[in-house]
Structure 1
């Protein structure tokens, strides 16, 4: 027969023979050996009840290109499982590959279909191209951070990945940028010893590229280069970095990978393409000397247009390609996608010089230049013929009713053309919402309500509908694993001990109060922070944390300056305190974090504002000293750690486990009492307003103040701060950057008395304290409302009902002991492996709103079951409180 390759398929044979002169198949003549009634049987089976199409030619209308790709993926899976087809006998063809490439790749990845996308791969972002581009940008744009680490992260330098990551973190934190890379590093000795050899190593190939010696630290731009000189510099750089060997190693590793994701010999072919580009570059710019900065757009234009032919990395894959490019004569099944008007056939391009009418006029005048419009139409019709006759057994035509953006579009003329040949052929309307009984892949189960009811234990009969359509390798457990549901299963206790402690014989958790507060907020947050050691990258920027550190450093220097002079805070007048603080902040600006406060003009302005605010703060504190008998005797008091002033606080959790607290107390004020224990008050500085909350304190979310008081209550704590024995009197938060209340008029705002009152209220201390120490804290006669400390008393001297933080001695003692009990409970749960995702909710507030690890747990705030906090209950200690 003339059409021997279609001997087993009469429909495709008829389609090919009648493409140019369409004739309906049901009107064909019946002669010897001609198309027999089997063709009509095939047409009648165009859509089976179960959605399984068995006709040789199918047509489908889908809602969007994405739905088209899903339809094709499902049909391929059915053919592979039920008809014995192989992936390499199947092709997906489109008119223009760029429009469908990523859609098809994404869908086929989801359905586990191996595919080879037949196109020329752009190498514009290949590591070697990026390295070549960056080495030119570095000297041209002042050795910027982004260019340095784009160059290093290509993987083609002498630094290993761990060195690059550590160097980048240090560079961001310490502000190493620009010309600092050309000078020896400055900073802590251990940091310099670690990174200085790395700095010298990374500069070596750059110096080679610039034509400098290893000992040359000159950073001036080189003289203008011509094309030959620049090409030679690139080749010297590649040779210094041993690029050819590295790329061959990459290719070899990719070849031996169990799941190759890159083509055989791809990297070395990139080098060959770049070498060929350099030859053309030398010829084009042999006598054109230009400064480095002017070479950048020229080099970029050349590198951005480089492509490499792609070779399939595996044998059994679906071919995905453009009709006018891909060639494969051994296809049994073809899927022709994107049969939409102006997509295929493609819309004719606008004429560059002559339109169609002008071409006809020239032809009539004897000048034959051809009809571009008619030629393109003929080409598109020929490509349609090629696409529809490529397969020998099965052809599927599909089109989208809407674009990806939702714009309506019409089907292609090829759809009507095929319908003219096969008038009884039905167009299947595909709905991408898959019924559970029709699911072919486990990922399709995720959109099925029945499946989720089974996951919640509400239905047992669901799986009998699922498994018959699935791959035989799919099991119930593998289906369940794809749901991605977060688990609250605890860690094994042995693993938890190894994770949180280095000791195997006596596991000890070294931690801080803020981390335990994080556990109280959500155990999973503590696990990510303290177990996985996940940390936020520190940048050389004046963020909230650095602002706080600067203020703490200035206040510490203020206290130490007074100690050096043998003075106390109360020995100064408010104006003297303000003046001293301004002098200290001026010096602290220069020394703080390698000049961070003077790095930018905005930083200097911020530092000046902080200096004024701190001056106001110490002036107000000194003014309050007239009726405050406590004296600041320690600042930045460290407990535990490398150089402790007070021993770390230890809590025994069990016979062999314990928890040890380290930290720093901002300020400790002492009131010495003859023949009795010294009262101690803890002051904790805050950049913003923070108030103790009764419910949060009861549930362990706010533990900072009571933990600090428990630290001071240790037997050995007093020795280091000039006290034989310490009795905690209270602990308070105080803001360093006060927000003053608005006034009703300009006159009121400028009134000196009003201004002073406003400042005092703005810096008021809020916290918890023992009411028996109130006389020493506030010696104003007849006062029933706090000025320095927040409290309110009734006429009989008892605290008001709303003042839960003003406690009787018994309640205050119970408050501190409960803190210890909470910490013991938390520590035991940590070593038991508790990592549950269980954030609390108080009113409309949740810790997730300010959590640095939200991207790790990724809970849905709309469906999350929030943990409700237990109400505070001090029992008998509330009985004495008066209304």
Structure 2
């Protein structure tokens, strides 16, 4: 037994020394005693490959590359100890979930936290850490008394809960399971019994430090192995009793060196001769021997000395190596000074880049890699990308490298919750436990596992079923009770203007829907019965397994894998293949741990979900010649020529550790003070970041690319890391290259070459350059060559044509030709006034809604239009019932009006959206609130009736073919006929000296007013058109001509009265009346106004939008119009309608939404995803409409209306 240290700075050749030594042994004596190369788990593949590819070596019978855990299984296979059932990370977390649920009432702190996402992950991480540092539940109990109770109450409470859970956790594992963290302790115990270890030479490489468990194993190996040789990245040896300064760059490895040396001395293990691989005066370390700049970076990283050109500075080297010369220790075969002097200093050995964003950073990195490969300077396996936080770059790298066809392997573990199989499993239980909520049901359906493999039902069919379910509000027991489902409920209490199409009727057919319903319900209901019937965890796992088999999950996963492989996504293909085994492993772990325990479905699912949440997949590199993408703290690549370090931003490199565990940094310090030592805290981790950065930056032998982003994906500014400042101090002459997202006219043509590194990037940037050219800017001849290349390549023709067409694309649509327009609308255009208003707001919106008949997906919920329709129907019904009963509104008391309105709302509520107001307690509460609003409205309308002489003449008056009143009919300029149809909410009449007065009242659930400039532009035509219909047909309808008294809006609401000093009942009633003041336009006639508000003599009316002066005339702000002005309005409205009709039938479908001040047609438009209107896009401009005063509008209207905004 002996211990030999192999030390040297980064790049000194330690791994090469070990591999060469092993190779020599294997070649010299292939059948000799075992050789074990012990490395971290993630380095095993790389080191094994390095040995296997040795020329002249025909096998590795003697040598094995192992991690600590693989060594443990190898030793226990020989000595026994593998009889215990292994438990993986998922199994431990599921066991913790079970313990936390079982002891919830006994854990004051953890009882509520146990349900939080990620808590079990953190608790398991803490327990793993405690095991590595050999802390058991008994140790926690013993040290609790040292806290003194009151000094650290929160920490004491935490430790009590931790100790309580850990006690049971240890008890569950003891004598039954083999925890991954216990494996090393068992290894240490079994090493003395292992003949394999006793005969073996142990080489240890690529470690910077060891946990207490690993140190125990190392101690056992030192005592029983033939020899142990340990390599550490270290600048010098340390004497006995000497310790490294905490700011020392090599503090992690120096501490390890001192610990291991002290342990060897304690165990009386002989020390072998130190192997110190170092650079002598005038020489460089092997890795950077060809590149002076990289050597300078490695030598002066901790104490920056500016680069002065040439090779390394002899004085600085001799000062650093004086102790080495005195020791006379071994060295490696280093490059002679004469040969070094003959080598050129590579000017591009170190490059710094600042990219405008991360995408541009990765694009430039990919372009440089392609250049290296094409020029023969490197193969893919000679290059690597390193980042500190791989999450910031994973998706960008994946996209860019796939476009560039760069083979790569991303060395990080992936969670599986996103996988369709995991999502299907989770949604399955969510359906059972969540009362068959529609969103959960269709989460399950959209995973695709329910689709028949024969293709008889498609995803589109289930999409249509989802539309139906959302429209009808199907949920809960309605899925499973077997009762037929109803048709899609009507959206209105009114008679629909258009009947559903045949296609819509077939989609609502119960037979068609029932087939899809059963495809979902049958397997899930059967599983629900089986999993509920099974009492034990084993029985529930069996039910789940049978459910998977019934759905042919293994076959589907194989198909998904084949599809991904066909698309070239090898990583996703392997993920699909692994998912089945991963799921079975989780269920096996559950059966092993708690198989015979009885458990509710809810707890069973919680345990299963905990396993899925913690499941991470690590993939083996699928090929040898590929770029490695790795995180600095996980992977230590070897034999690299070119290294790309991305994301060197402040706060990212060096990383800022954060407290995200169960114990805070201060609490860890307290535990260390009382003798419970855990892993290094945040301060130590932050200091050790320097060493991590040092090993990363010195990993390549030919070039180093360092880059950072100036902004993140959201455009927020990012700063350069202190590492950039360090490199600038080391190499003052280094120029920082700015990486733009797109080439620009200020770049030289050679610089722009980087943007055509591969065809996808070239095509994308070509389009950008051509767009600049169209704007009148000059572009380099290079881009015309690129254009001609794509033109000459047949496989790019279609994409080139498509993309170049975007250069002249205007987001507009041409007018429909006459034949298409006639097919859509017919030669006789039958339309409503609201439809014409929609056309004026935006012709394309009208085309989408009435031409293409596009509709939003109907959802079973109470929306503002539904409430408005209820108000309309209730108030109309109230007035009708009064009229039919021969009663007058003004004669009713408030109590009678409220009782009558309540009765009407109760009758109407079940008819609204398939009884939606009765469906839940929430909607029943809303129904009561709506009832109060209707009560308030009828009482106010009763007060209106008392104050005037107007009485309802007609309610819900339809006009159109075969209706009480005929349509307004026009012959358009293009020969088409247009009929205006609709329904008038309420027509009131009163007798006067001038004749019969008529006014139109419309009920609105939102504040609405008649604005003359909106009438002028054609945005508000409804009320005036209704009045025109009445005036045009009055003689035939009433037998006499009538006088237009006004068009008014009544706002149905329940306003809140606010007063700082309170108010009397009478004052409150007056204020309430004012809140319901009618809006609109009234005939400028004192008699007419008195017929509506008899008490008004002067001043402002409480119920009308008018104000009367002392002399009986009207104030200028009164909403009134003379008889002549009413005629002008009527004439202009007719002109506007005819112009709109002509434009519709001529096929006008332009994307021209209006904008008036802050009001836009697009604000509430449902068709924005269809038209894709964007003001920044060429061809997209708003119809700019200006607000005008009343006088300006009257001037334009009376002038003939020849400049209407809609024309």
Q: Provide TM-score, normalisation by structure 2.
A: 0.56
- State the 1:734 CA deviation: 0.7
1:428 aligns with 2:428: no
Q: Which moved more, 1:9-18 or 1:184-193?
A: 9-18
- Equivalent of 1:822 in 1117, 1120, 1136: 1136
Q: Secondary structure at the match of 2:607?
A: helix
Q: How does 1:442-521 map to 2 (within 5 A)?
A: 457=775, 460-464=776-780, 467=783, 487=810, 489-494=812-817, 498=820, 503=824, 506=826, 512-521=832-841
- Equivalent of 1:177 in 466, 472, 475: 475
- State the 1:543 CA deviation: 3.8
Q: How does 1:470-869 map to 2 (within 5 A)?
A: 487=810, 489-494=812-817, 498=820, 503=824, 506=826, 512-523=832-843, 525-526=845-846, 529-530=849-850, 535-562=855-882, 565=885, 567=887, 569=889, 572=892, 575-589=895-909, 591-601=911-921, 603-625=923-945, 628-639=948-959, 652-653=971-972, 655=974, 663-670=982-989, 680-712=998-1030, 729-737=1045-1053, 739=1055, 745-746=1061-1062, 749-752=1063-1066, 754-770=1067-1083, 774=1088, 777-778=1091-1092, 780=1094, 783=1097, 788-792=1103-1107, 800-803=1115-1118, 805-808=1120-1123, 810-830=1124-1144, 831-842=1146-1157, 844-848=1158-1162, 851=1165, 856-857=1172-1173, 859=1175, 867-869=1184-1186
Counterpart residue number, 1:301: 610
**Equivalent-residue separation in structure 2 for 1:330 and 1:94 (angstroms):** 15
- State the 1:299 CA deviation: 0.7
Q: Which moved more, 1:699-708 or 1:509-518?
A: 509-518
Counterpart residue number, 1:39: 344
- State the 1:802 CA deviation: 3.7
Deviations 1:654-697 (CA, angstroms, capped at 9, x unpaired): 546566655443223356899x9975432211123221111111
1:236 aligns with 2:546: yes
- State the 1:818 CA deviation: 1.9
Contact 1:597/1:603 (8 A) holds in 2 = yes
Contact 1:93/1:323 (8 A) holds in 2 = no
Counterpart residue number, 1:369: none
Q: Secondary structure at the match of 1:731?
A: strand
- Where do 5+ consecutive residues of structure 2 fail to align? 1-15, 21-53, 56-285, 301-306, 313-333, 452-456, 489-504, 676-683, 792-799, 1200-1207
Counterpart residue number, 1:152: 445
**Equivalent-residue separation in structure 2 for 1:553 and 1:174 (angstroms):** 22
Counterpart residue number, 1:367: none
Contact 1:794/1:800 (8 A) holds in 2 = yes
**Equivalent-residue separation in structure 1 for 2:1046 and 2:651 (angstroms):** 78
Contact 1:224/1:291 (8 A) holds in 2 = no
**Equivalent-residue separation in structure 1 for 2:723 and 2:930 (angstroms):** 68
- State the 1:339 CA deviation: 6.1
- State the 1:558 CA deviation: 1.9
- Equivalent of 2:380 in 89, 100, 106: 89
Contact 1:627/1:778 (8 A) holds in 2 = yes
**Equivalent-residue separation in structure 2 for 1:430 and 1:814 (angstroms):** 67
- State the 1:567 CA deviation: 4.6
**Equivalent-residue separation in structure 1 for 2:448 and 2:419 (angstroms):** 11
- State the 1:94 CA deviation: 1.0
1:105 aligns with 2:422: no
Counterpart residue number, 2:81: none
Q: 1:426 to 1:825 in 2, by over 3 A?
A: same
Deviations 1:260-294 (CA, angstroms, capped at 9, x unpaired): 69734643442343234333333333212210111
**Equivalent-residue separation in structure 2 for 1:825 and 1:313 (angstroms):** 69
Q: How does 1:156-171 map to 2 (within 5 A)?
A: 156-158=449-451, 160-171=458-469
Q: 1:836 to 1:592 in 2, by over 3 A?
A: closer
**Equivalent-residue separation in structure 2 for 1:783 and 1:401 (angstroms):** 72
**Equivalent-residue separation in structure 1 for 2:732 and 2:721 (angstroms):** 24
Q: How does 1:373-392 map to 2 (within 5 A)?
A: 384=696, 387-389=699-701
Contact 2:650/2:719 (8 A) holds in 1 = no
Q: Which moved more, 1:600-609 or 1:124-133?
A: 600-609
Contact 1:699/1:869 (8 A) holds in 2 = no
- State the 1:730 CA deviation: 3.5
Contact 1:791/1:803 (8 A) holds in 2 = yes
- Equivalent of 2:360 in 61, 65, 70: 70
Contact 1:336/1:387 (8 A) holds in 2 = no
Deviations 1:436-468 (CA, angstroms, capped at 9, x unpaired): 333665999999xx98996895xx343348837
**Equivalent-residue separation in structure 1 for 2:827 and 2:580 (angstroms):** 54
- Where do 5+ consecutive residues of structure 1 fail to align? 44-54, 213-220, 362-371
Q: 1:82 to 1:187 in 2, by over 3 A?
A: same
**Equivalent-residue separation in structure 2 for 1:262 and 1:523 (angstroms):** 49
- Larger RCO of the pair (alpha carbons < 8 Å, separation 6+): 1
**Equivalent-residue separation in structure 1 for 2:537 and 2:1116 (angstroms):** 84
**Equivalent-residue separation in structure 1 for 2:626 and 2:979 (angstroms):** 58
Counterpart residue number, 1:123: 416
Q: Which moved more, 1:127-136 or 1:529-538?
A: 529-538
Deviations 1:539-575 (CA, angstroms, capped at 9, x unpaired): 4444433322222232233234335545554664555
Q: Which moved more, 1:427-436 or 1:78-87?
A: 78-87
Q: Secondary structure at the match of 1:411?
A: helix
CA RMSD between the two structures = 5.6
Counterpart residue number, 2:208: none
- Equivalent of 1:134 in 427, 435, 454: 427
Q: 1:731 to 1:400 in 2, by over 3 A?
A: closer
**Equivalent-residue separation in structure 2 for 1:769 and 1:80 (angstroms):** 78
Counterpart residue number, 1:59: 351
- State the 1:132 CA deviation: 0.7
**Equivalent-residue separation in structure 2 for 1:132 and 1:658 (angstroms):** 60
Contact 2:709/2:718 (8 A) holds in 1 = no
**Equivalent-residue separation in structure 1 for 2:622 and 2:1025 (angstroms):** 61
- State the 1:169 CA deviation: 3.9
Q: Which moved more, 1:186-195 or 1:703-712?
A: 186-195
Q: 1:662 to 1:853 in 2, by over 3 A?
A: same
- State the 1:58 CA deviation: 2.7
Q: Which moved more, 1:694-703 or 1:67-76?
A: 67-76
Q: 1:106 to 1:569 in 2, by over 3 A?
A: farther
Q: Which moved more, 1:776-785 or 1:16-25?
A: 16-25
Counterpart residue number, 2:218: none
- State the 1:85 CA deviation: 5.4
- Equivalent of 2:723 in 408, 411, 420: 411
Q: 1:386 to 1:762 in 2, by over 3 A?
A: closer
State the structure with more CA Rg: 2
- State the 1:845 CA deviation: 4.3
Q: How many pairs does the alignment contain?
A: 811
Q: How does 1:186-201 map to 2 (within 5 A)?
A: 187-188=486-487, 191=508, 193=510, 195-201=513-519
Q: Secondary structure at the match of 1:157?
A: coil
**Equivalent-residue separation in structure 2 for 1:606 and 1:829 (angstroms):** 43
Q: 1:724 to 1:444 in 2, by over 3 A?
A: farther
